[in-house]
Amino acid sequence: MATDGPAPGFRRWALEIEYDGTGLCGWQRQENGLSVQELLETAAMRLVSGLPVASATAGRTDAGVHAAAMVVQLDLPEAAELGAHHVRDGLSFHLKPHLVAIRRAALAPPGWHARFSALWRSYRYTILNRPTRPVLDHDHVWHVKRPLDVEAMRAGAALLIGRHDFSSFRAASCQASGPVRTLDLLDVRRDGEYVTIDAKARSFLHHQVRNLAGSLQLVGSGQWTPGHLGTVLAARDRRVAGPTAPPEGLCLTGVGYPEDPFGP
């Protein structure tokens, strides 16, 4: 991944992309599956007549995880003389028939980097809380049959907000340099059969939102008291926390920058 500016003769574009992670191996290019990155870079090569194109993202997502508004950078040759609508619609066209499309495209401000300039990321985890399995929301929710007590979940979530060592909610595979993160938001709400968990932070550990959702579900179903989440956090031990909630309930909902790359 490029950590600095575009190569000579290239201009950096900011893209806001939406994708359905079902059947994909996640954001990052891999040997053993189709990734969003591979689909996007292939579409970009088609757009600029076969030139190789490098992309970087504000955050990786795992296999099966969705994005409503992921932000990605793409360095495209100046010589292509592309306008913003051309980039948005041209890439979306070349991404067909995959469920990946460009919501917005803009020339990035000088010095902007999709990952390193980002101030925060937000995710929503959605639980379908009813006896009947998901139908209209198939592959986009976690199905929990047992009725969840959202007030208990909210009380438990409140103990996790702020700056903490989140080792108990960190995947073994996490490549971050340390386990300390500042959780700015962890909000649990019910809307009919849906229970949503909204999380926002400067950055997250690998599987952090899914691990938080898995533990919050144990509070909601009455297996844990809300206060037990404080004990789990203090233990700094992944083995004492709840299970990792499945990927299909997770969606990246937004990325924030000091200055909106897509304009006011």
263 lies in the binding site for a copy of itself (CB under 8 A): no
Q: Select the residue interacting with a copy of itself from 29, 46, 94, 140 (CB under 8 A).
A: 140
Instruction: Identify which range of 24-32, 74-82, 108-116, 125-133 contacts a copy of itself by CB under 8 A.
Output: 125-133
Question: Could you give the C-alpha distances from 59 to 73, 112, 184, 252, 254, in angstroms and in order?
Answer: 11, 15, 17, 9, 10
Question: Is the CB of 24 or the CB of 183 nearer to a copy of itself?
Answer: 24
Using CB under 8 A as the binding rule, whether residue 88 contacts a copy of itself is answered as: yes
Identity of the amino acid at 189? R
Contact 124, 251 (CB under 8 A): yes
Check whether 125 is labelled as a binding-site residue: no
Closer residue to a copy of itself, CB minimum distance, 110 or 192 = 192
Amino acid at 210: R
Task: Judge residue 195's burial from the number of C-beta atoms within 10 Å of its C-beta, 0-12 exposed, 13-18 middle, 19 or more buried.
Answer: buried
58 φψ region: left (φ > 0), alpha (ψ -120 to 50), beta (else): alpha
Q: Taking CB under 8 A as the rule, does residue 8 contact a copy of itself?
A: no
Dist CA 208 CA 216 (whole Å): 12
Out of 4, 20, 62, 149, the active site residue is: 62
Among 52, 136, 191, 239, the residue binding a copy of itself under the rule CB under 8 A is 136
Helix (H, G, I), strand (E, B) or coil at 71: strand
Q: How many CB atoms lie within 10 A of CB 152?
A: 18
Nearest CB to a copy of itself, comparing residues 101 and 176: 101
Choosing from 86, 138, 146, 202, the residue that interacts with a copy of itself (CB under 8 A) is 138
Using the rule CB under 8 A, is 133 a contact of a copy of itself?
yes
Which of left, alpha, beta for 224 (phi over 0: left; psi -120 to 50: alpha)?
Answer: beta
C-beta closer to a copy of itself: residue 135 or 172: 135
By CB under 8 A, name the one of 68, 155, 158, 176 that touches a copy of itself.
Answer: 68
User: In 10 A of CB 12, how many CB atoms?
Assistant: 22
Q: Is 237 a catalytic residue?
A: no
Query: How many angstroms separate the most distant Cα atoms in the chain?
Result: 61
Instruction: Indicate whether 38 belongs to the interface with a copy of itself (CB under 8 A).
Output: no
Binding string, residues 234-253; x marks residues near a copy of itself by CB under 8 A? -----------------x--
Structure tokens of 199?
């999380």
- Known binding-site residues equal 123
By annotation, the residues acting in catalysis are 62
Which parts of this chain interact with a copy of itself (CB under 8 A)? 18-20, 66, 68, 85, 88-89, 92, 99-103, 130-133, 135-136, 138, 140, 251
